[in-house]
Amino acid sequence: MTIHIPEVQLNDGVKAPAIGFGTAWIRGAKGVESLKTAMDLGYRLIDSAFNYENEGVVGEAVRQSGVPREELFITSKLPGRHHKYDEAVKTIEESLYRAGLDYYDLYLIHWPNPKVNLYVEAWQALIDARQKGLIRSIGVSNFLPEHLDRLVQETGVVPSMNQIELHPFYQQAEQRACHLTHGIVTESWSPLGRGTELLEHEQLRAIAEAHGKSVSQIVLRWHVQLGALPIPRSQSVEHQRENIDIFSFELSKEEMKAISELPSTGPLWNQDPAEYEEF
């Protein structure tokens, strides 16, 4: 059964599904089958990246799925090593060639790569690519408030999304407040954290039992009610189905407050430029 997903309107007028499907480490023929299953279940936002080396897999899954292209919302990302304007333009074109697509619905700068400090130049390339019809909506990923402010100040164009690490153990209140100020949608990567610690949390399990849902469903519903757009990843059909089935119930204000007050364990991703230079 295909599950209907509500839409979120971005600041440029483009509409995006309220939950997406992450594709990091999903590759090859098995990856194509996994993506086709996800689309059969109702996923329409598919999040990929140049650095995931799976844009071809995403494109093949789109062609085999039988879902009309205009019903899908396909994302890719520009890597940090290609922020020079000309390189960025070629990389966007190459991303489309890899996938065999005419356009991306959303294209992000994967991270600001502040040591190189060319992210404004890269942003201009995305702006121009959108004007050429290669991209419908443009955004960023892992940008801090100072990076977002600079993009707006120097180009006058506000990103439609910022994809950041967000989960109950790392809630990024200040970052989300910055997004709200600019009208930027927060997109959550690693929305369920990593490993089992989050999913075994006693308070989350109690809320899940009260609703007759899994902890994963409770956490993803928390994202949606927070105003964020989660992109969970799973190659398990059972988990894919579970993760998308979060629109038939609501968390109470008290439950939202309880989750929002969970102690922070900090980020999972180390933003050390030396380590993530090519992100």
Q: Is 119 a catalytic residue?
A: no
Round to whole Å and give the CA distance between 187 and 226.
11
Q: How many CA atoms lie within 13 A of 232 on its CB side?
A: 29
Round to whole Å and give the CA distance between 108 and 18.
17
| Six-digit token string for 172 | 């990024």
Name the nearest CA neighbour of 148 among 170, 176, 128: 176
User: In degrees rounded to 5, what are phi and psi of residue 232?
Assistant: -65, 155
| Catalytic-labelled residue, pool 43, 52, 104, 119 | 52
| Six-digit token string for 193 | 């954290």
- DSSP bridge pairs for 8: 16
> In which element (H, E) is residue 33 found?
helix 28-41
Residues marked active site are found at 52
